[in-house]
Amino acid sequence: MPLHAQENIPDPATAPDAAFGTADSPAPITERFAAPRMSRAERLAQVLPADTELQTFESGNETYYALIQLANAAESHGSILILPDIVSGEIWVEQSAHMRHYLADHGWTVLVMEMPLPAPPPIPERTLPLRVDPPVASDSAAPEPAADAGLTAAPEISSEPQPAPEPLPPYAQRISQRIGNGLEELRLRDTNAEEREVIIAIGSSAGWAADYIQQMPEQSRPSLLIIDPRPSRSAEQPDLLTSITSLRSLIIDLYHTPQPGQPVVTPDARQRQQAARRSAHPDYHQARISGSARGWNNPWLSRQVRGKLKRHLLDPHESDEYSEGIAPTEQRPPGRNPFSMDL
């Protein structure tokens, strides 16, 4: 390297430390600001698309949310209330994402209601005696100081008792209130909601939805579409078989064939079908969800749900290509995807 290239390099021993500064030139002060804490509503709004509305509901000291997707049509077919699986927890938004948009694009006003988590099971009482070791006496222990040794005791910290949080209503009442709020909100958003109302209950929400519809007046009962119904962790969950035998409104029962290692749902589906036949249900329809795609947030399931609603609710006397839950197997010309036309 030429010598003139090193003329401007200061000597490390005599150069001032720019990072720590000197007495004549102190180092610049770097301020750090804590990131603002976001509320749960703000976190949900960040992950939602612009055309999805976030609705907040408050009941006592409980706050919960709903997602509203308006129908992309001049006149909607009706309204759909989607109840996610209760055990889904925080993924209820992702669980219903594709179905929410797909049904709205095909003329339905959709509301997805957040479901409450059941209370954890109580901790069992202790039955064994608690073992306590006796204190060990030591001869070399220092004597306790006298009371007049000039030591002052630490002042006691007095704090006012905090008010106990308001207890939540019973679990069944909380679920009924959320279903009622969802149906009422849909009627405010869509004038055709009362003409065609549908409740789509996924997983452990099926029993609660069927029990709620059973308690409604017969002339205003919505249709029910259940997907993979299964028991809930709550002991208060109503019996789905009893509700199926007593309901006389439209019931569409869809279920997946379980994969190896998963709970077998086929006997439960057979029991539901047999219960509907014994009670001579006039409008009960059951079908297996076909296709290799699994999960509740996939395009094929959304298409089958729309096909079932079209066949049994919109056009009862017309057949639908995808309403029987059978995946198309015919060969198509190169370059055409049979599953991409409605995605």
Q: Which domain holds residue 309?
A: 53-116+169-314
Is 242 part of a structural domain of the chain?
yes
pLDDT for residue 91 is more than 90: no
- Provide the 10 A C-beta neighbour count for residue 190: 24
Backbone angles phi, psi at 125, to 5 degrees: -70, 150
**Cα–Cα distance between 180 and 212 in angstroms, integer?**
9
The count of structural domains within the chain is: 1
pLDDT for residue 338 is more than 80: no
Give the residue, 165 or 27, on which the prediction is more confident.
165
Is 192 part of a structural domain of the chain?
yes
Q: What is the CATH number of the domain that holds 258?
A: 3.40.50.1820
pLDDT at 145: 55
Is 128 part of a structural domain of the chain?
no
Sign of dihedral through CA atoms 187, 313, 296, 103? Answer: negative
**What are the pLDDT digits (tens) for 94-141?**
888 999 999 999 999 999 999 998 876 666 666 767 676 677 665 555
Residue for token digits 């969802």? 182
Largest CA distance in the chain: 102
**What are the pLDDT digits (tens) for 309-322?**
999 998 875 444 43
Is 45 part of a structural domain of the chain?
no
Is 256 part of a structural domain of the chain?
yes
Is 263 part of a structural domain of the chain?
yes
Is 140 part of a structural domain of the chain?
no
Is 85 part of a structural domain of the chain?
yes
Interstrand relation of 223-227 and 251-256 (parallel, antiparallel or unpaired): parallel
